[in-house]
Amino acid sequence: MKKVGFILGIVIVIIAVFIFVNKSYYPSLPIENLSAKEVIEKLEESDSKVVEIAFEDEMIWYITRTENEGILVADEYIKKMISSNGWEFKEKDGAGLFFEKDGESLIATTQMWTKNYVLVKIQSKFKKL
């Protein structure tokens, strides 16, 4: 009986380690073919506050940290990044940040992924104009 308990304990530890290493405890991403582990590693390896993680359907996905201060910190990081490309911030409405440049408008939408990370989706014209 002790042998069965020992084996069961080992199996539980192996499963827990697998979940932790692969970051399986994070919610799924709204981006296909990208794992939570890959996304978090990209952010951790970068010196930037906002990191590009995917390009999908004329949209660019980014991730940033909330720095335990909520989405307002992430909004500020996004505003700085987009403004550095010449876009002027106009307003925030819900999860959308609205910008203008040369008569064009740009919308960046934010989405809390976890309490520590925010996903940002920006139209690809952000880099084209």
**C-alpha angle 98/101/102, rounded to 5°?**
145
Give the domain range for residue 81. 29-128
Asked whether residue 88 is domain-assigned, the answer is yes
Nearest C-alpha neighbor of 119 from the set 95, 100, 98: 95
Q: How many domains does the chain have?
A: 1
In a domain? residue 22: no
CATH number of the domain residue 75 falls in: 3.30.310
Residue 13 covered by a domain = no
Q: What is the pLDDT of residues 11-23, one digit of tens each?
A: 777 777 766 655 5
Give pLDDT tens digits for 20-59. Answer: 655 555 666 777 777 778 888 888 888 888 888 888 878 8
- Residue 96 falls within a domain, yes or no? yes
Would you say residue 80 lies in a domain? yes
Instruction: Answer whether residue 121 is part of any domain.
Output: yes
- Residues 6 or more apart whose CB falls under 8 angstroms from that of 92 comprise 75, 98
